[in-house]
């Protein structure tokens, strides 16, 4: 190994235990004398609780306790991750339902037993008597009553800039569409799970099974139990898929901790698949009525968007972040003088919604790119030409808008949107492809090509830290506040440390998801881990490097600038084959009792911090070629190209893996996956027979163009995030291709485009 770890597709460090059956997931973790928790859930979407009978369940042998809300009066509703939000306070979810049932799957009671099967049997014996109330199923219907004096329209969000009235008054044309995005979410291979454990000897409460944002959740949970953060710790294990749905604070996380504290015994809960499909965070569901004002040349003068966000029964710990991001990021890569977004944040009697990979972006990319296609059709202009005329130019970077996303002002850092689009068009042979598709349509085939452009956001700050330590054997440990949800986190951090310090990445152990090892961390969400944590690791490794060279220079009678570190050995730059010292030897000279320490802090270890004022903005485009089967309404993806500029790729293989995995999830939301409900609020997709996931048979080979043309000027490594790039524009690109295949602009106005919906469209069009 030489100092060229960054930019290489090095083998993942995480894989050996996972591919040899030695992975350790939360279901694999057990403690002596543990109890098993089972949740009794509401079977009604909207009802007033009359009584809850737990006598029969409590009498079952092996049952330790049965709780309802009356048994935990000291625990209030679940707070928001970012702190108190006054207008949403009355809408927070109780840990166990008290007076009202608001969605099918809401926790009403919990059973604790010596065996998981006994707990499940006992849960079936809990009787809930309730008076049914009329449910609210559609967010765009008239608001209802959540509680006395509270409307189900919990908030109205507004963002915008410019004179929107003047833009439309001066328009050559006004184009309006009405589109919907269906409700779907991350359905990871591993369902949720949690173990609460109270260490009585040390007075420390532990939550095992943490993911995504361990440190943030520790802060919130410490407040729930009136403890300092030093008295509560989170432990992350292998995670079988995150995607935003895992890692929020759910009722079950609080319940296992409350029980562990009260019973002084470990308490374990593992979610089954049906629970996951009715109780874990859902996402996406929005309706947009959006219109654009354009001049005669197709230039955007203004966009006016009103949308209805279906939040489900309660705000989750993310609060209004999805709806707010929807407002702030909708303009995408295009310039416009005026913009207005009005978002109706409404509660319904469905499972609560929260983030899912590319929250707010999957939705807005579909909405905006449908609008761009409609404008092109209205003006009889090429879809490509229209977009190119409106793109933010390379020489206009950085490009700021008076909008905000995640409390951060929008300011695109770098990019060549038109240049990347040209690369994609060349790869797919766009002009020749149009001739080929035209000929096939003339023969009766329903086949077409579509495209979508997008700007992502990543690297949400403001601060992250890391600690790098070298022991006397030369082994290196990187301690971070990051989290791993399968994205290759350990490998990436090891590569950054290896290149910066001058070591072999295979000799580096990366610690994450452990609040007992580091006091601060941002976890893994919003595509921020690589940007923030990797730059913090770099800073810590630079400090360790400087300390090592300082010691070595004294011992080798040289100047630090004359030395280098290669493969963990300090060598002279002018004589690399001469005298050398290992990092382990230098660590030995920094033992507390070492006479050569000479006043330096003991140990070859240092902290490092990275601060960021703004997010980074990677960008991309996607092109789809799709064919429709007239008889079945099935869609076949014949070809798919994803182009993405990441600024600088630390491990290109891992980036491609993120893009391909994201694409499959986007394909599910475009064609298959949807949580549906009947008029009573009963969920209709509670098994994989009804909630359809794409398989390998439906997944095409995806061509990836990984560009590094626009490194970010906002961090020393020049990197941007990649976690949400593959999914971001799939729905938009496929919808565009299906319109082209049908020969009708605006035929596709709703996702997912299921076979039933597409058959109906075919009938209506007489195809």
Domain boundary among 586, 611, 636: 611
DSSP assignment of 260-299: HHHHSS-EEEE--HHHHHHHS-BB--EEEEEEEEE-TT--
Give yes or no: residues 78 and 214 share one domain. yes
Q: Is residue 281 in a domain?
A: no
Q: How far is CA 200 from the centre of its chain?
A: 36
Smallest CA-to-CA distance from 210 within 581, 487, 523 is with: 523
Q: Is residue 272 in a domain?
A: no
Residue 235 belongs to domain with CATH number? 3.90.1170.50
The sign of the CA dihedral 296, 400, 365, 312 is negative
Smallest CA-to-CA distance from 255 within 405, 401, 109 is with: 109
Give yes or no: residues 454 and 465 share one domain. no
Q: What's the Cα-to-Cα distance from 82 to each of 159, 191, 296, 317, 318, rounded to whole Å?
A: 20, 25, 45, 8, 8
Q: How many structural domains are present in the chain?
A: 3
Give yes or no: residues 731 and 747 share one domain. yes
Which structural domain, as residue segments, surrounds residue 470? 460-611
Q: Is residue 112 in a domain?
A: yes
Give yes or no: residues 503 and 629 share one domain. no
Give the model's pLDDT for residue 486.
87
Give yes or no: residues 668 and 760 share one domain. yes
Give the model's pLDDT for residue 82.
86
Give yes or no: residues 549 and 452 share one domain. no
**Separation between Cα atoms, residue 90 and residue 93, nearest integer Å:** 9
Q: What is the DSSP letter of 41?
A: E
Give yes or no: residues 537 and 621 share one domain. no
Q: Is residue 738 in a domain?
A: yes
- In sequence order, the 6+-apart residues with CB closer than 8 A to the CB of 165 are none
- Note the pLDDT tens digit of each residue in 255-297: 999 999 999 999 999 999 999 999 999 999 999 999 999 999 9
**Residues 233 and 516 sit within 8 Å (Cβ to Cβ):** yes
Give the model's pLDDT for residue 3.
63
Give yes or no: residues 676 and 593 share one domain. no
Domain boundary among 574, 590, 611: 611
- In sequence order, the 6+-apart residues with CB closer than 8 A to the CB of 763 are none
Q: Is residue 575 in a domain?
A: yes
Give the model's pLDDT for residue 1.
37
- Note the pLDDT tens digit of each residue in 725-760: 999 999 999 999 999 999 999 999 999 999 999 999
Give yes or no: residues 604 and 618 share one domain. no
Give yes or no: residues 468 and 444 share one domain. no
Residues in the chain predicted with pLDDT less than 70, given as ranges, are: 1-3
Do strands 232-235 and 204-208 pair parallel, antiparallel, or not at all (unpaired)? Answer: parallel
Residue 471 belongs to domain with CATH number? 3.30.365.10
Q: Give the Cβ contact number of residue 701 at 10 Å.
A: 8
Q: Is residue 115 in a domain?
A: yes
What interhelical angle do 214-224 and 251-263 show, nearest 10? 60
Strand order in the sheet with 35-41: 63-67, 107-113, 35-41, 267-270, 193-199, 204-208, 232-235
Domain boundary among 556, 578, 611: 611
Reported as half-sphere exposure (CB side, CA atoms, 13 A), residue 695 has a value of: 4
Q: Is residue 160 in a domain?
A: no
- Note the pLDDT tens digit of each residue in 372-422: 999 999 999 999 999 999 999 999 999 999 999 999 999 999 999 999 999
Q: Is residue 38 in a domain?
A: yes
Give yes or no: residues 685 and 734 share one domain. yes
**Residues 545 and 565 sit within 8 Å (Cβ to Cβ):** yes
Give yes or no: residues 364 and 455 share one domain. yes
**Residues 391 and 398 sit within 8 Å (Cβ to Cβ):** no
């Amino acid at each position: 190994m030489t100092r060229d770890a960054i930019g290489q597709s090095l083998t993942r460090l995480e894989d050996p235990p996972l591919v040899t059956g030695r992975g350790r997931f939360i279901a694999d973790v057990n403690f002596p004398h543990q109890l098993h928790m089972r949740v009794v859930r509401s079977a009604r979407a909207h009802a007033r609780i009359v009584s809850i009978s737990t006598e029969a369940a409590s009498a079952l042998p092996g049952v330790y306790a049965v709780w309802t809300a009356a048994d935990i009066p000291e625990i209030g509703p679940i707070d928001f991750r970012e702190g108190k939000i006054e207008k949403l306070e009355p809408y927070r979810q109780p840990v166990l339902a008290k007076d009202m049932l608001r969605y099918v799957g809401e926790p009403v009671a919990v059973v604790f037993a010596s065996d998981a099967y006994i707990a499940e049997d006992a849960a079936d014996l809990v009787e809930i008597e309730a008076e049914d109330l009329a449910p609210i199923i559609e967010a765009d219907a008239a608001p209802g009553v959540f509680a006395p004096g509270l409307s189900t329209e919990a908030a109205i969000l507004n963002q915008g800039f410019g004179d929107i009235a003047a833009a439309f008054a001066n328009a050559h044309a006004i184009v309006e569409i009405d589109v919907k995005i269906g409700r779907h979410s991350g359905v990871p291979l591993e369902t949720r799970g949690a173990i609460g454990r109270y260490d009585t000897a040390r007075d420390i409460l532990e939550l095992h099974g943490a993911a995504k944002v361990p440190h943030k959740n520790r802060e919130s949970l410490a407040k729930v139990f009136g403890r300092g953060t030093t008295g509560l710790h989170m432990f992350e294990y292998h995670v079988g898929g995150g995607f935003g749905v895992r890692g929020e604070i759910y009722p079950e996380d609080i319940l296992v901790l409350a029980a562990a504290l009260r019973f002084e015994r470990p308490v374990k809960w593992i979610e089954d698949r049906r629970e996951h499909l009715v109780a874990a965070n859902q996402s996406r569901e929005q309706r947009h009525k959006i219109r654009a004002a354009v001049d005669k040349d197709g230039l955007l003068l203004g966009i006016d968007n009103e949308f209805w966000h279906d939040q489900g029964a309660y705000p989750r710990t993310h609060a209004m972040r999805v709806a707010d991001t929807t407002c702030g990021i909708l303009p995408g890569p295009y310039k416009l003088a005026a913009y207005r977004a009005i978002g109706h944040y409404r509660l319904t009697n469905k499972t609560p919604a929260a983030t899912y990979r590319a929250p707010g972006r999957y939705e807005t990319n579909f909405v905006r790119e449908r609008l761009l296609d409609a404008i092109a059709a209205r003006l009889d202009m090429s879809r490509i030409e229209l977009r190119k005329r409106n793109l933010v130019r390379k020489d206009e970077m950085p490009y700021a808008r008076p909008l905000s996303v995640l409390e951060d002002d929008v300011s695109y850092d770098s990019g060549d949107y038109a240049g990347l689009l040209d690369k994609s068009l060349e790869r797919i042979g766009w002009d020749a492809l149009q001739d080929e598709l035209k000929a096939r349509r003339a023969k009766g085939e329903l086949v077409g090509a579509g495209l979508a452009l997008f700007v992502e956001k990543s690297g949400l700050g403001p601060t992250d830290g890391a600690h790098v330590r070298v022991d006397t054997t030369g082994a290196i440990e990187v301690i971070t506040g990051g989290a791993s949800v399968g994205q290759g986190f350990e490998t990436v951090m090891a590569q950054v440390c290896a290149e910066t310090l001058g070591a072999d990445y295979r000799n580096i152990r990366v610690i994450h998801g452990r609040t007992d090892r580091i006091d601060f961390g941002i976890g893994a969400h919003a595509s921020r881990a690589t940007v923030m944590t990797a730059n913090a690791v770099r800073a810590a490794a630079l400090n360790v490097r400087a300390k090592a060279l300082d010691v070595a220079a004294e011992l080798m009678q040289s100047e630090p600038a004359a030395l280098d570190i290669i493969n963990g050995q300090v060598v002279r730059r002018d004589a690399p084959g001469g005298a050398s010292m290992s990092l382990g030897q230098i660590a030995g000279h920094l033992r507390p009792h070492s006479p050569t320490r000479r006043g330096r802090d003991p140990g070859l270890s240092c902290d490092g911090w990275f601060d960021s004022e703004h997010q980074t903005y990677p960008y991309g485009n996607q092109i789809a070629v799709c064919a429709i089967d007239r008889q079945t309404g099935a869609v076949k993806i014949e070809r798919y190209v994803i182009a993405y500029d990441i600024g600088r790729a630390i491990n290109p293989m891992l980036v491609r893996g993120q893009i391909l995995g994201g694409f499959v999830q986007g394909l599910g939301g475009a064609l298959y996956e949807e949580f549906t409900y009947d008029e009573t609020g009963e969920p209709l997709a509670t098994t994989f027979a009804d909630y359809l996931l794409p398989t390998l048979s439906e997944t095409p080979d995806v061509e990836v163009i990984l560009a590094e043309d626009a490194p970010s000027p906002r961090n020393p490594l020049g990197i941007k995030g990649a976690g949400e790039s593959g999914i971001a524009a799939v729905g938009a690109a496929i919808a565009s291709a299906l319109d082209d295949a049908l020969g009708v602009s605006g035929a596709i106005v709703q996702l997912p485009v299921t076979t039933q919906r597409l058959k109906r469209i075919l009938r209506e069009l007489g195809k």
